[in-house]
Amino acid sequence: MTSEEKLRWKKCDECGFLQHKSHLRCLNCKNDKFTLMEASGECTLITFTILNAPPAEFRDKPSYALGVVEFENGIKGLGQITTQDNLKTGMRLKPVYQKICENLDGKEINAFVFEPI
């Protein structure tokens, strides 16, 4: 994996709050010092839904599963799930970085998807 292919979050050095890397200050205590954390290994499915009317970029799919996962170190991620069959909250998944679609201009878009173990 290259550095662009890692799920990263910020952990506040003051209170330990985990938040998306785009925030400049801690959403909990307003501190501006963070430690960058990377998600790794397996994750657990927290919740999911089936999109039966996907956006135009996903015109090749009649539907797909989208889920929120949590890694063992508390980092959460949102992404497609590689199957719609037998999904249940609490199941174990692994992240896979791959092409998910082509945008409306034909450019390939890559992202993490989550695959049942």
Model confidence over 4-61: pLDDT tens digits?
A: 578 889 999 999 999 988 999 999 999 999 999 999 889 999 999 999 998 988 888 8
3-state SS, residue 4: helix
Which CATH architecture group holds 40-117?
Beta Barrel (2.40)
In percent, the amount of the chain with pLDDT more than 90 equals 76
102 vs 2, higher pLDDT: 102
Q: What distances in angstroms separate CA 73 from CA 11, 20, 38, 45, 117, one per listed residue?
A: 11, 14, 9, 14, 19
The domain segmentation of the chain, as residue ranges, is 1-38, 40-117
